[in-house]
Chains A and B, each alone.
Chain A
Amino acid sequence: MSSTTVGAHGAAEHGRGSMTVGEFIRTYVFSLDHKIIGLQFLFSTLLWFLVGGLLALGIRWQLAWPWSSMPIIGRMLFSGEGGQISPEFYTTLFTMHATVMIFFVIIPILAGAFGNFLIPLMIGADDMAFPTLNMLSYWFMWPAFICIGLSFFSAPYGAGAGWTSYAPLSVVGEAAPGSAMWVGSLPGAQTLWLLGITFVGISSMMGSVNYMTTIIQMRAPGMTMFRLPLTIWAMFITAILQAFALPVLTAAGFMQLLDRTLGTGFFLPEGLVVNNSLPATGGGQPLLWQHLFWFYSHPAVYIMILPAMGMVSDIIACFARKPIFGYKPMVYSISGIAGLGFIVWGHHMFVSGMNPLLGMTFMVSTMMIALPSAVKVFNWLGTVWGGKVQFTTPMLFALSFVSMFIIGGLSGIFMAATPVDIFIHDTYFIVAHFHYVLFSGTAMAVFGAIYFWFPKMFGRMMNENWGKVHFFLTFVFLNGTFFAMHILGAVGFPRRLADPYDYETFRQLQPMNQFITICAIGMVSSQVIFAANFIYSMFYGPRVGRNPWGANSLEWTAPSPPGHGNFDFQPVVYRGPYEYGSPEVDTDFYPQIQPPPSDPARRYKPEHH
């Protein structure tokens, strides 16, 4: 990998280019090294990010110029429909956009890529607790990739029941083209979708067991729980969330699979006939699926944001050159979000037909989950206060996370209020809300994290100037895209309509949708700058030493990139990771492994109050 490779596991030193095929496969393909596995997750998820983004553009095209052919590529893609996006394919577009983005991008890029890469490095371990399990957690993504990839070809149109896969639409084969049971000799798209999601679940489960064990068992001497970087705290809590919520989704997925294949009828009422299907034998309830699905998928929302919050905390403290404000409240608020996260799933179901009294309880718990989020925002602001802010690319992305998360958090309060939700449920208001949280929040944090840890991953810097251009364009276009969606939502503009302009209520909204689409095209195009910067810097970026940003946490004391076994010394931890600007030292940072000054007079004595 590099000249600084250290063989803590007794790995042989190889010269460049002298690797045999077997060695190459062991080192880079079926690797047991957490860093390689992390990078495998990173590359796979970034490629799927591109796929998900292009699917989103398909949706946007249809909403801006319904039934018109996309220039040039329209005729190539949809020759059967004269270049049009058919309404069947439109349902596939939004189903697969969400599926890909959630299950193949956000969850695996946070837990899989950054969790894998950072956990052992930041806690001072040489690898994960279970390296083979770790390798399997990546390779179990591949059956999922294949199932979901095949689902596009299986039925004429792919799975089209939404990423929520609500029964009966997803269960009854006659209900939608994508729900057909068999297409030739291939299982129908919806069956493949369910299998794919199950494999993602197995992968996440293996990862989460590994992360919990590693963080509990493998911390370096002196690394107490309250000296962990917030990234690790967030990964730890996320792993717990995964471990407890995911079995429910897996079980529910199997139930839906059985409903489809064996006619078990968990989610179908008696005598149900959809589109001339045989009457269902029944005994089930469509709402049961929603409860089971959201019991996982609401905690999943926090699985998709907590690691981002952790990474943003580390980046902001580093570039404000100041200790994180309120470390323990930050830890408690992560835990609070996770705990409350288990009892708010019903807010997806306020108008579903669920008992309205139950809606009231879920409203209270949902309102209260805004509290830990607010505490986190105040603490980030407190961290910037009185610092010396360096506007590096990672810092800009991290700050934009804070700025955008405020919008996403506040717009959530509208939906939490049940009477208001009656009007805005399933409208573009909710689309705006979760894109502010997941794209403007998490994806921006991920970009920041890539710029921040890239030197550690590859031993080279990404170009800062192009990074800032990438930031500026993404930031401007994403707000153009997603902010305007709040306005659409206020008119009641519904999601998932292939042609909303048939309704007189929404006819005047087409120009605004065209504006949004243009911004979305700009946003996706801007990522070319990122891709070019990423690939170029991997090979030709300026080489860096161990600690290019002057950061405190343990990964910055390992070589860049760290060899197999990570550290070329045994890290011993003396303090938390946020001691920037400490009076005990002359530098503005104070690495966790640096022993305290020998002169007791120089030691800092905190004031007690």
Chain B
Amino acid sequence: MGRFWSLLFLMVPVLGVGIFVWAIAGWWPIQNHWLPDNINDHGHVIDSLFNFILYLTGAIFIATGLVLFWFLWKYDAAQNAEPVKYSHGSHTLEVVWSIIPSVTLLFIAIYQMNAWADAKLRRPEISRTPGPDGKLHTDDDVVVLQPPLAEVTGRQFEWRVRYAAADGILGTEDDVQITNELHIPQGEDVVLRIKSQDVLHSFFLPNLRIKQDVVPGMKQHVWFRANRTGVYDIVCAELCGWGHYKMRGRLTVEDRSSFNRWLADQHTKQTQAEFQKPTGGEE
């Protein structure tokens, strides 16, 4: 039976890699079972890091799986006539297989930092002028960060979107307010301010490789540059109650002119509604 069990363990790397290859290739019956289309200019960094780790861990997975199989096959008590190798280990090997993984892991960690900083720390800037020291890219630069295009507020169980509209300032009377519909212009750096009104939610845009929890009492910013028009999902990725599953928003990426037209339309609709019902009271 040793042969059978060895082969069973061989199946782990064989089928494991097989399923991944199948999914990546998108063969029948599992088409579209891989990373969804990336439409964010910054998102491909995340995809390539994902793939980098996938290939690296894949290689280790195959190597260790084959070694385990080979040892089981070769040293099966029913087949192996040689005496047991009476060994308590090898100092050299321990050093080797401690140093190589630690260097690799440290490399992976450091290699990721730039992408992380781009995603979470370096918000797009409108302008940057040298400060008193007269040099650019020093700590005393005068930086104007890009203001948020819209504010998205999670609440049980919907996304409320608020645009700055004409005056360009959020939180003023002319803001356009809309629920579960987020429109953004294509090919431009977009900053969104996201927050929560009640419990934790997570603002997840699978196609833009964006995910950020929103925490009541805090404000977060996300930024991206969408490069393809279309309609995409806004997912809530943090448990927010019984209706968590239906907290679905729609993200529409369109070119600048249709975006402007849409925003103006929304504004008109909103103000007209106010004229028709002047006693209704804005919230």
Contact = CB atoms under 8 A, between A and B. Distances in A.
Given A351-B212, A375-B97, A406-B61, A326 B12 contact: no
A292 to B, nearest CB: 15
Contact of A491 (B19, B35, B101, B112): B35
Contact of B19 (A88, A406, A484, A582): A484
Contact of B98 (A177, A371, A402, A479): A371
Interface string A348-382: 00011100110110011001101100110111011
B245 A500 contact: yes
Sorting the interface of chain A by its residue count into under 10, 10 to 19, 20 to 34 or 35 or more gives 35 or more
B183 interface: no
B273 to A, nearest CB: 25
Contact of B75 (A323, A386, A479, A495): A386
B46 A352 contact: no
A609 B91 contact: yes
B25 interface: no
Contact of A384 (B56, B71, B82, B106): B71
Contact of B89 (A327, A384, A406): A327
B77 interface: yes
B243 A87 contact: yes
B198 A273 contact: yes
A193 to B, nearest CB: 14
A420 B53 contact: yes
A425 B237 contact: yes
Contacts of B75: 320, 384-389
Contact of B244 (A287, A414, A491, A497): A497
A399 interface: yes
Interface string B110-143: 1011011101110000000000000000000000
B50 interface: yes
B94 interface: yes
Contacts of A479: 12, 15
Interface stretch (A20-28, A38-46, A507-515): A507-515
B248 interface: yes
A81 B236 CA distance: 25
A391 B244 CA distance: 47
Interface in B55-110: 56-57, 60-61, 64-65, 67-68, 71-72, 75-77, 80, 82-91, 93-94, 97-98, 101-102, 105-106, 108-110
Interface stretch (A105-113, A161-169, A294-302, A536-544): A161-169
A467 interface: no
A285 interface: yes
B267 to A, nearest CB: 28
A286 B112 contact: no
B194 to A, nearest CB: 10
Contact of B83 (A351, A377, A475, A581): A581
A378 B97 contact: yes
B64 to A, nearest CB: 5
A492 interface: yes
A385 B84 CA distance: 9
B198 A272 contact: yes
A423 B61 contact: no
Nearest to B54: A414
A599 interface: no
Given A327-B89, A403-B12, A413 B216 contact: no
Interface of B: 1-2, 5, 8-9, 12, 15-16, 19-20, 23, 29-36, 45-46, 49-50, 53-54, 56-57, 60-61, 64-65, 67-68, 71-72, 75-77, 80, 82-91, 93-94, 97-98, 101-102, 105-106, 108-110, 112-113, 115-117, 119-121, 156, 197-200, 202, 204, 206-207, 209-218, 220, 232-233, 235-246, 248
The 10 closest A-B pairs by CB, nearest first: A269-B217, A386-B85, A581-B84, A326-B89, A356-B120, A410-B57, A492-B206, A388-B77, A419-B115, A274-B198
18 contacts: A268-B216, A323-B87, A329-B98, A370-B101, A379-B89, A385-B71, A387-B75, A391-B2, A399-B68, A400-B9, A422-B46, A479-B12, A483-B16, A492-B204, A495-B239, A503-B233, A511-B29, A512-B33
